[in-house]
A and B are shown apart, each in its own frame.
Chain A
Amino acid sequence: MSENNICREDILRISGVDTRKCMRCGKCSATCPAYDEMEYHPHQFVNMVENGDIEALVESPSLFKCLSCFACIDRCPRQVEPAKLVEAVRSACIRRQGHNHLSADAIPAILDPDIPQQALVSAFRKYSE
Chain B
Amino acid sequence: MIYSYFPGCTLKNKAIDLDIYARRSAELLGITLEELPEWQCCGGVYPLAKDKIATKLSSVRALAASRDAGHDLVTLCSACHNVLKQVNNDMRTDEYIRSRANNYMAPDAEYNGEINVIHYLELLRDTVGFENIKKKVVKPFTGRKIGAYYGCLLLRPGKVMQMDDPENPKILEDFIRAIGGEPVIYAQRNECCGGYATVEDKAYAASRAGKVVDNAAACGADMLITACPLCLYNLNKSNAENKLPVVYFTELLAEALGLKEENDV
A residues in contact (CB < 8 Å) with B: 13-16, 33, 37, 64-65, 67-71, 73-74, 83-84, 87-88, 91, 102, 110, 112, 114-123, 125-127
How far is it, in angstroms, between the C-alpha of A117 and the C-alpha of B77 when the chains are bound?
A: 12
B100 at the interface (CB under 8 A from A): no
Set of chain B residues within 8 Å of A15, measured between Cβ atoms: 48-50
Instruction: Please report whether the interface of chain B is mostly helix, strand, loop or mixed according to DSSP.
Output: loop
A69 with B156: CB separation less than 8 A: yes
List, in ascending order, chain B residues with CB within 8 A of A122's CB: 43-45, 79, 195-196, 199, 230
Is B13 among interface residues, defined by CB-CB distance under 8 A? yes
Which residues does B use to contact A, with CB under 8 Å? Answer: 8-10, 13-15, 41, 43-45, 47-52, 55, 77, 79, 152-153, 156-158, 166, 191-192, 194-200, 202, 204, 208, 229-230, 232-233, 237
Contact of B49 among A64, A65, A67, A91 (CB under 8 A): A91
- Return B150 CB to nearest CB of chain A, in Å: 11
Chain A residue at smallest Cβ distance from B196 = A122
The answer to whether residues A114 and B233 also contact, given A69-B156, A121-B44, A125-B47 and a CB cut-off of 8 A, is yes
Candidates A87, A114, A126; contact of B14 at CB < 8 Å: A114
A-B contact count (CB 8 A): 120
A123, chain B: closest CB distance, angstroms: 4
| A70 touching B152 in the complex, CB below 8 Å, given contacts A117-B10, A119-B198, A125-B44 | yes
Inter-subunit contact B49/A118 (CB<8 Å)? no
| C-alpha gap A126/B201 in the complex (Å) | 14
Q: Which residues of B contact A67 (CB under 8 A)?
A: 152, 192, 194-197, 208
Asked if residues A71 and B49 are in contact (CB atoms below 8 Å), the reply is no
- Chain A contact residues, majority secondary structure: helix
Q: Which residues of A contact B191 (CB under 8 A)?
A: 33, 69, 71
Set of chain B residues within 8 Å of A87, measured between Cβ atoms: 48-49
- Assess whether A14 is in contact with B49, with CB atoms less than 8 Å apart: yes
Judge whether B192 and A71 touch: CB under 8 Å.
Answer: yes
A127, B45: Cα distance in complex, Å: 12
| Subset of 19 A-B contacts with CB under 8 Å | A14-B49, A67-B192, A67-B208, A69-B152, A69-B195, A73-B156, A74-B156, A88-B49, A91-B52, A102-B200, A115-B198, A116-B230, A117-B9, A118-B79, A118-B230, A119-B198, A125-B44, A125-B47, A126-B196
Report the minimal beta-carbon distance from A100 to chain B, rounded to whole angstroms.
12
Q: CB distance A71 to B156 under 8 Å?
A: yes
Q: How far is the CA of A115 from the CA of B158 in the complex (A)?
A: 28
Give bound CA distance, A115 to B232, whole Å.
10
A16 to B50, CA, bound (A): 6
**A73 vs B196: C-alpha distance when bound (angstroms):** 18
Q: Which residues of A contact B158 (CB under 8 A)?
A: 74
Would A118 and B199 be within 8 Å (CB), given that A69-B192, A73-B156 are in contact?
A: no
Q: How far is the CB of B210 from chain A (nearest CB, A)?
A: 12
Bound CA–CA A91/B54 (angstroms): 14
Which of B44, B192, B194, B204 has a CB less than 8 Å from the CB of A118?
B44
Smallest CB gap from A83: residue in B = B48
Please state if B156 and A119 are interface contacts (CB–CB under 8 Å): no
User: Which A-chain residue is minimally distant from B205 (CB atoms)?
Assistant: A67
- Determine how close the nearest CB of chain B comes to the CB of A77; give it in whole angstroms: 13
